Amino acid sequence: MPVTFNDANAPRFNGTSVRRPQDPPRGMVTPPPEIVAQVAKERAKFPAAIYTDAYAKRILDDRTLAYYYEGLDVAYRSVSQGVEVLAIGVEEIGQLVKGKTPEELLTFTIKEP
Amino acid sequence: MSRLAVPLLYRTLFASGDVLLRAEVDLLIKDDRGVWHQETFRVDSGAEMTTMFAPLAKQLGVPTPQHAVPNAVHAQTGLEIRSGVLRVQVVGMDATEYAFPCFFLGDPSGPPATPISPPAVPRTLLGLSGVINQLRITFDGDAGPGAPYGHLIVEKK
């Protein structure tokens, strides 16, 4: 099993660590400014050829999902501005997949940030 | 041979500044209609068995055993386990379909465990049993283009 660490200093907590599936944002979600700043600071430590734009985007998506949805299952797709969140929690995900064609189902990913 | 190199992800622990690495891989999971769903799994060399949250599996139509394994629970969460199989493809590799043994965690029909207080114990893990006899999985910490902390390498055996 993975060893994980609770980071109570992370900006996402903002005084509370309890979240419900109905709380976090849905739809287009852009990276929080503090996440953008943090990733830019970390990226500056590496040559541009190593910490590429594509990798920075992947990390921004990952941090954005963790910021809002840690501990929840989420269906999302990566878009240029951030992530598009389609469903949060298993019940919403179940509703999302109903009636979708096989092709449509492969346009998003389910993840537990 | 089909081979996939996935950049390792990382986060910085705000409390200490330490960099924490992890590896993830996207799998296509086949449901009971033969339709694929894409889900991200954390690759965990310390996990004895692949795991997935049973209520999510049910919502996706992934077949799960009817009965829980008696006298056994998932130690980290206390959830009951159902011993089944995940039929998957690895995104980014060839179309080989693998059957991985999987412990489905919790009651598939049970209410979702909400609200959730982070950090929840990750439930979507790619473990060792029944996987590494089909896939060679390597963690390579050498930095490269697009991978400051190295790669997860997945190869078909």
Burial of B95 (0-12, 13-18, 19+ CB in 10 A): exposed
For residue A42, the chain B residues in CB contact (below 8 A) are 12
**Which chain B residue lies closest to A20 (C-alpha atoms)?**
B115
Answer whether B80's CB lies under 8 Å from B51's CB: no
Residue among A1, A38, A93 minimizing CB distance to B12: A38
Write down the residue that tokens 């503090």 correspond to. Answer: A34
DSSP 3-state of A14: coil
Q: How many residues does chain B have?
A: 157
Q: How far apart are the first and last CA of chain B?
A: 8
Test A73 with B56 for CB contact under 8 angstroms: yes
Test A112 with B60 for CB contact under 8 angstroms: no
In b/e form, how buried is each residue of A65-98, taking b as 16+ CB within 10 angstroms? bbbbbbbbbbbbebeeebbbbbbbbbbbbbebbe
- pLDDT band of residue A96 (cuts 50, 70, 90) is very high
pLDDT, tens digit (0-9, with 9 covering 90-100), for B45-98:
999 999 999 999 999 999 999 999 999 988 888 889 999 999 999 999 999 999
Q: What is the DSSP letter of A86?
A: E
Q: Is A36 on the interface with B (CB under 8 A)?
A: no
Which of B28, B116, B139 would you mutate first to test chain A, the one with the most A CBs within 10 A? B116
Test A89 with B12 for CB contact under 8 angstroms: no
For residue B35, the chain A residues in CB contact (below 8 A) are 102, 105
Please state, rounded to an integer, the average pLDDT across all residues of chain B: 92
For residue B64, the chain A residues in CB contact (below 8 A) are none
Q: Is A104 on the interface with B (CB under 8 A)?
A: no
Answer whether B138's CB lies under 8 Å from B8's CB: no
Tokens representing B62 are 């992934």
- Report which secondary-structure segment, H or E, holds A54: helix A53-69
| pLDDT for B122 | 74
Q: How many CB pairs under 8 A join A and B?
A: 132
Closest CA to A6 of B16, B44, B76: B16
| pLDDT for A4 | 67
Between residues B7 and B72, the one the model is more confident about: B7
Per cent of chain B over pLDDT 70 is: 92
Tokens representing A37 are 């700043």
**Which chain B residue lies closest to A95 (C-alpha atoms)?**
B59
Q: Is A44 on the interface with B (CB under 8 A)?
A: no
Residue A10 has pLDDT above 80, yes or no: no
Pairing state of beta strands B24-30 and A74-79?
unpaired
- Report which secondary-structure segment, H or E, holds A36: helix A33-43
pLDDT, tens digit (0-9, with 9 covering 90-100), for A19-77:
555 678 999 999 999 999 999 999 999 999 999 999 999 999 999 999 988 888 999 99
Dihedral of the CA atoms B68, B40, B156, B105 (nearest 10)? -10
Q: Write down the pTM of the prediction.
A: 0.92
